[in-house]
Amino acid sequence: MQLTKAGYRLSENINPVSLCQKYGTPIYIYDADIIERQYKRMINAFDVPNFRLNYAVKALSNINILRFFRQLGAGLDCVSIQEIELGLRAGFLPHDIIFTPSSVSLEEMRLAQEKGVHINIDSIPMLESFGAEFPDVPIGLRFNPHVYAGGNRKISVGHVNSKFGISIHQIPHVLRIVEQLNLKIEGVHIHTGSDILDTDVFLAATEILFNTAREFKDLAYIDFGSGFKVGYKEGDNETDIELLGQKFSQRFKDFCEEYGKDLTLMFEPGKYMVSEAGTFLVQTNIVKQTTAAVFAGVNSGLNHLIRPMFYDAYHHIVNISNPFGKKRIYSIVGYICETDTFGVDRQISEIKEGDYLAIFNAGAYGMMMASNYNSRPRPAEVLVYQGKDHLIRKKESLDDLLRNQVDIEL
């Protein structure tokens, strides 16, 4: 969303205030233009013969968003059988889906295999059991490169203490299993974390994965996962994808030459694709002066956007009802019956009761991590596409909250 002379505007000059009035708040709004821009930036940044972008469904899985990615030409990265089902319903071919789960059951792996998607294995016990049952199914292997990277501890997943992947130090053991079971390893994979700024971290992890790839002679792809940083704060740097692409593409081509085959270069970004495209719009219920601060209390909370409370994540907040007003200092808080602060000591144009506030960069892991805490319904979602707004998920109702509850006689 941009600040124009007329106030805040989505792409094609759409006024977010009118969307708040039309659909009610709280509401998630996604701007398809920004998703498309991010997709194209990434595709254009990498100059290699075979490139594949598998969108990480976990970031935002509304079926219309998935269909939009299919139209753009992306594949999907899924972590549950349900994400696979959604992807197939959205029209993706099994071949265009990669399943990269962690600690799931063999039963779920079997179901994924039946669907015909690419399988990525994350542990030695699973390699043994899945490999013994399906020796002819080509598989990928997720390695843990022992690199510490990511915006915070909870989203750093490639380090030595993390549950994810097979340790790179266990390669001799992996090779023994592969040989004994005569397995076909079609890909190697790493994912070190989310919200990583430093391109050198990616490049360091890349060398580790190349070393791993050399051990497998019949690869079709190398998957470098994701973790690209977006600008949550105003003026924040994001991962310089163009610079990364420049440095990375040549290195990848050199590796392919050494390997003797044009492998497919894969990434599986979520946040970089949809974070900026999403804005969470809320309405101010109360403006409350206490001895210590001025609180603006809004009609949402950690039940709808938990990132600030769960990760101490910063999300930029503006008052779209009063875009040019005098700035005052506010803490923006939710209506949940425990501390749920969206932002502390923010300079925001003067807020009155009823004003609409926009919380930026809420497209990734916003709605996806929403809950029904305090028995509040989850909000609606709207997609803005080619100058039109489309409701793509209705707000939940009391019936939705009761749907799976079973009345018993007491």
In sequence order, what E strands does 249-340 have?
Answer: 264-267, 278-289, 294-298, 317-319, 327-333
Minimum Å distance from CB 409 to ligand LLP? 41
By beta-carbon proximity to ligand LLP, the closer residue of 194 and 199 is 194
Q: What is the CA radius of gyration of the chain?
A: 23
By beta-carbon proximity to ligand LLP, the closer residue of 28 and 228 is 228
Minimum Å distance from CB 241 to ligand LLP? 12
The stretch near ligand LLP (CB under 6 A) out of 133-141, 205-213, 231-239, 266-274 is: 266-274
The stretch near ligand LLP (CB under 6 A) out of 221-229, 287-295, 316-324, 375-383 is: 221-229
Cα dist. 103→106, 122, 165 in Å?
9, 8, 10
Cα dist. 139→188, 252, 266 in Å?
9, 21, 15
Cα dist. 301→140, 220, 370 in Å?
40, 45, 10
Which helix (H) or strand (E) segment holds residue 108: the answer is helix 106-115
Q: Considering the rule CB under 6 A, would residue 225 count as an interface residue with ligand LLP?
A: yes
Let me know: does 211 contact 14? Beta carbons within 8 Å: no
Long-range contacts of 112-119, Cβ-Cβ distance < 8 Å, separation of 24 or more: 112/81, 112/84, 113/137, 115/81, 115/84, 115/88, 117/78, 117/84, 118/186, 118/187
Active-site annotation holds for 337: yes
Size of the site for ligand LLP (CB under 6 A): 21
Q: Considering the rule CB under 6 A, would residue 315 count as an interface residue with ligand LLP?
A: no
* Greatest CA separation for the chain: 72
Touching ligand LLP, residues 68-87 (CB under 6 A): 77
Per the structure block, which two tokens stand in for 234? 């105003």
By beta-carbon proximity to ligand LLP, the closer residue of 276 and 355 is 276
Q: Considering the rule CB under 6 A, would residue 52 count as an interface residue with ligand LLP?
A: no
Touching ligand LLP, residues 190-209 (CB under 6 A): 191, 194-195
Q: What's the CA gap between 6 and 109, in Å, rounded?
A: 53
Minimum Å distance from CB 74 to ligand LLP? 13
Let me know: does 252 contact 265? Beta carbons within 8 Å: yes
Among 100, 299, 331, 361, contact with ligand LLP (rule: CB under 6 A): 100
Among 26, 131, 158, 227, contact with ligand LLP (rule: CB under 6 A): 227
Cα dist. 154→121, 151, 161, 390 in Å?
22, 8, 12, 34
By beta-carbon proximity to ligand LLP, the closer residue of 57 and 185 is 57
Minimum Å distance from CB 299 to ligand LLP? 22
Minimum Å distance from CB 225 to ligand LLP? 5
Among 9, 271, 346, 376, contact with ligand LLP (rule: CB under 6 A): 271
Minimum Å distance from CB 142 to ligand LLP? 7
Site residues, ligand LLP (CB under 6 A): 56, 59, 77, 100, 155, 191, 194-195, 225-228, 268-272, 307, 311, 364-365
Name the residues annotated as catalytic.
Answer: 337
